[in-house]
């Protein structure tokens, strides 16, 4: 069995969703893809009281929920998709048909920017309509889509809208109250309550560039792109997927942290894309010590080069099949996703210092960092 097939067989089922769109890939943490900014105090909002619960009592989150509902939007995305050739042969008609998906989003600025999931939007040629909390339905312009983090930015021409203040997702604590706001199963402006179950979830099952917030507020198909709101009335995450065997809520929900979402949003607003670094179209895999021994790669696990494409223009840079990468720019790595994030965050045009173990000996390589050009995946 190949290293690659071993990796693929180890993946568990993770489902991301928007009503009508099934997604099995989402996207994890990025440090500074654009200039990091401090949490804003836009439309300063002071809830009636902090939500620390008195023993035996639950906090009153009704005023926070009301404000979050007004900043929440429902999103309808219509795309032209190619009809299966067999179906088109028997049915006749056009080679394309309209396909509509529904999801959620959050107003993040008073001038009409809306943050949602990329799999809710689909592709750049999708026709998007946004329904505001006061039931106004407006067309939206797609500002940018980043499938790698499953984020997208839209713009609507609307007045009198009230965004929710940004929160600092790094300050969330386990067991802190959170609200999920969205459009599950087309039930508009639904609010559910839960707690933060864990921070910084990063796992090969989930995504490359995101460290997710795990929580247990109920989210279901249609909640994608909706807000995760703290007990302080701040936007701390964008709900994006669940883990389970049924495709429905099982108490394990994931949200993209607001700190990452804000950086990606600013990059999309500025450039229409997120620029990431690359050292070539290489593939990496994380192996345990037992797996490394099985493949004759020593007794210690780590991040191994599993494929070096022969026609890659950077193929001569120095990395070889079965090299074990132990550090990137002097930062130690033991997991594939950590290495991929470090590569993505490296400045374009710089030279990266990569330390590897090759045939039992340590070797230091100097590799050029170029702009990542991997094509985006439509509908993700």
Residues marked as catalytic = 119, 150, 224
In this structure, CATH architecture of domain 15-35+61-69+164-270: Beta Barrel (2.40)
In the chain, what percentage of residues exceed pLDDT 70? 76
Compute CA distances 134 → 139, 159, 251, 379, whole Å: 15, 12, 30, 29
CATH topology for 277-371?
Pdz3 Domain (2.30.42)
* Per-residue model confidence as pLDDT tens digits over 273-307: 999 999 988 999 999 999 998 988 988 899 999 99
Strands 361-368 and 96-107: unpaired
d(CA 210, CA 212): 6
Domain extent listing, the chain: 15-35+61-69+164-270, 72-155, 277-371
Compute CA distances 101 → 127, 144, 191, 224, whole Å: 11, 18, 21, 11
Residue-level pLDDT at 318 = 84
For range 308-334, the mean pLDDT: 85
pTM: 0.77
| Six-digit token string for 202 | 């990063």
d(CA 315, CA 359): 19
Strands 177-182 and 227-230: antiparallel
Whether 15-35+61-69+164-270 and 72-155 share one fold: the answer is yes
Residue-level pLDDT at 97 = 67
**pLDDT of 140 strictly over 60:** yes
List, in sequence order, the alpha helices (H) in the chain. 3-9, 62-71, 85-91, 118-121, 258-271, 289-294, 336-345
CATH topology for 72-155?
Thrombin, subunit H (2.40.10)
Residue-level pLDDT at 205 = 57
* Per-residue model confidence as pLDDT tens digits over 185-228: 999 999 999 999 999 887 655 567 888 999 999 999 999 999 99
d(CA 275, CA 252): 31
Q: How does residue 14 score in pLDDT terms, banded at 50, 70 and 90?
A: very low
| Six-digit token string for 287 | 């192996």
Is residue 2 classed as helix, strand or coil in its secondary structure? Answer: coil
**pLDDT of 154 strictly over 50:** yes
For range 313-336, the mean pLDDT: 87
Residue-level pLDDT at 7 = 33
Among the residue ranges 5-9, 153-157, 364-368, the one predicted with the least confidence is: 5-9
């Amino acid at each position: 069995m190949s290293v690659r097939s071993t990796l693929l067989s180890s993946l568990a089922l993770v489902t991301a969703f928007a009503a009508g769109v099934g997604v099995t890939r989402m996207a994890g943490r990025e440090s500074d893809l654009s200039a990091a900014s401090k949490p804003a105090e836009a439309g300063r909002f002071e809830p009636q009281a902090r939500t620390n619960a008195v023993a035996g009592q639950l906090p009153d989150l009704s005023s926070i929920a009301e404000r979050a509902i007004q900043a929440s939007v429902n999103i309808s995305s219509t795309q032209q998709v190619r009809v299966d050739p067999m179906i088109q042969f028997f049915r006749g008609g056009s080679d394309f048909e309209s396909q509509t998906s529904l999801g959620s989003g959050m107003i993040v600025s008073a001038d009409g920017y809306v943050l949602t999931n990329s799999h809710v939007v689909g592709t750049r040629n999708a026709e998007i309509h946004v329904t505001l909390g006061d039931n106004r339905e407006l067309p939206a312009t797609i500002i940018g889509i980043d499938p790698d983090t499953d984020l997208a930015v839209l713009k609507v021409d609307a007045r009198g809208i009230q965004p929710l203040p940004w929160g600092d997702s790094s300050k969330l604590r386990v067991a802190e109250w959170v609200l999920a706001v969205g459009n599950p199963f087309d039930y508009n402006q639904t609010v559910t309550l839960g707690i933060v179950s864990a921070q910084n979830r990063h796992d090969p099952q989930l995504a490359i560039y995101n460290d997710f917030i795990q929580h247990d507020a109920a989210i279901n198909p249609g909640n994608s792109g909706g807000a995760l709101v703290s007990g302080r009335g701040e936007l701390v995450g964008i709900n994006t997927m669940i883990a389970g065997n049924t495709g429905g809520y099982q108490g394990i929900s994931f949200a993209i942290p607001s700190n990452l979402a804000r950086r990606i949003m600013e990059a999309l607003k500025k450039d229409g894309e997120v620029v990431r670094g690359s050292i070539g179209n290489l593939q990496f895999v994380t192996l345990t010590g037992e797996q490394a021994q099985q493949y004759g790669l020593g007794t210690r696990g780590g991040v191994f080069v599993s494929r070096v494409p022969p026609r890659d223009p950077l193929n001569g840079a120095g990395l070889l099949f079965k090299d074990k990468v132990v550090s990137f720019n002097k930062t130690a790595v033991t997991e594939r996703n950590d290495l991929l994030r470090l590569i993505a965050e490296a400045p374009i045009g710089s030279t990266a210092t990569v330390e590897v173990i090759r045939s039992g000996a340590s070797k230091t390589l100097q590799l050029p960092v170029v702009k990542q050009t991997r094509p985006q995946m439509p509908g993700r």
